[in-house]
Amino acid sequence: MSIIEIKNLTKKFDIEGHTIVALKDINLSIEKGDIYGIIGMSGAGKSTLVRSINYLEKPSEGSIFIEGIELGSLSERELRKKRSNIGMIFQNFNLLEQKNVLGNVCFPLEISGIRRSDARKKARELLKLVGIEDKEKAYPAQLSGGQKQRVAIARALATSPDILLCDEATSALDPQTTASILELIRSINEKLGITVIIITHQMSVVTDVCKNVAIIDSGKLVEKGSVEEIFANPKSDAAKELLSGKRNTYTPVKQLNTGNKIRIVFKENSAYEPVIANLILKCKVPINILKADTRNIAGKAVGEMILDLPEDEEKQEEIINELKRANLTVSEASENE
């Protein structure tokens, strides 16, 4: 069941007499309970997209549906009420410096008319959920970046939203803290059933926690699907760049005529099998491993290798066929890999 439907979304900005198209004809469906990544390089339009989901940015064209309700059809009062069902956290935390941790989490509850005693009770429950119940009297200036983001998450959950938008929520954090925040987001998704949309420019964030992903490039949706599928077989230049840091790194293996390097992707059990050793023994040729990496994607071990094959074209074909028979995804790596 889709909780978010984005249909033919276009967003334009008029700046000093010029029209800038930030998003063009975006169509996207996000299922209830998913952890969905929206990824792109800086300036791709992903933050504009996430702000469109809760109508902080109103589309120039197209529609946004939340649980079947088209946001453009709502009055301002109805829209404010609907937004209370959509929590949001940001890269820079956006905490109120003059309020302590408990006051920050209570704030959205108090402005919605909840009694102070009830607000404080719920805020303490949320602080326990995010693991900083001992910091309720501290002020933001006394907290680390990770602790500030935990406060921001607790505050975003205060109104019991069904959707949590995370706009570059880990970009200001170190790798260890990023991992702990992503694990917290995963735990919240599982415990509360909240649909999470993560906006990021970091593929490592997507592979660590997301189930599905959409790739935005120059305001256009260029690729979407499961994280595992896109990691195994990226089709768009943007996906290849985000995975490898370079554009046009991979081309279909059937065009293998520009070099001897190939990329293979391991899935699940094959990541633990001695595929290369078996291949060398069977084909009786040396194979150089130029690069190797394994990641945990959606709870599954998925890895990649760049292999340098022998010059003999018949042996190349034999090797590629053996790899495919082993259920590996095979593509050609470019000369600059």
Residues 324, 329, 332, 335, CA torsion sign: negative
Tell me what pLDDT residue 326 has: 78
Q: Tokens in use for 251?
A: 């081309």
Over the range 326-337, which residues count as b (16 or more CB within 10 Å of their CB) and which as e?
eebbbbbbbeeb
The pLDDT of residue 331 is 77
How many Å is the Cα radius of gyration of the chain?
23
- Residue 300 · residue 280 · CB < 8 Å: no
- Find out whether 145 and 176 touch, Cβ atoms under 8 Å: no
Domains of the chain: 2-232 (3.40.50.300), 249-333 (3.30.70.260)
Q: For CA atoms 9, 15, 19, 22, give the dihedral sign.
A: negative
List, for residues 96-133, the tens digit of each pLDDT value. Answer: 999 999 999 999 998 888 999 999 999 999 999 999 99
What local confidence, expressed as pLDDT, does residue 259 receive? 53
15-to-12, 60, 61, 273 alpha-carbon distances in Å: 10, 14, 18, 56
The predicted-structure confidence for 202-254, as pLDDT tens digits, reads as follows 888 888 899 999 999 999 999 999 998 888 788 888 887 887 655 444 444 44
Exposed e or buried b per residue across 47-63, where buried means at least 16 C-beta atoms within 10 angstroms of its C-beta: bbbbbbbbbebebbebe
Q: Please list the residues that pair with 31 across neighbouring strands.
A: 2
Through-space distance between the first and last CA atoms of the chain, rounded to whole angstroms? 41
Structure confidence at residue 253 (pLDDT): 46
Per-residue pLDDT of the chain (337 residues; tens, 9 = 90+): 789 999 999 999 988 888 989 999 999 999 999 999 999 888 888 889 989 999 999 999 999 999 999 999 999 999 988 988 999 998 888 999 999 999 999 999 988 889 999 999 999 999 999 999 999 999 999 999 999 999 999 999 999 999 999 998 888 888 899 999 999 999 999 999 999 999 998 888 888 899 999 999 999 999 999 998 888 788 888 887 887 655 444 444 444 444 578 888 876 655 556 777 777 888 888 788 887 777 767 666 677 788 888 888 888 888 888 888 877 888 777 444 5
Q: Where do runs of H (alpha helix) occur along 217-265?
A: 227-232, 237-244
So what's the pLDDT on residue 67? 93
Element (H, E) at 186: helix 175-192
Task: Confirm if 204 and 293 have CB atoms less than 8 A apart.
Answer: no
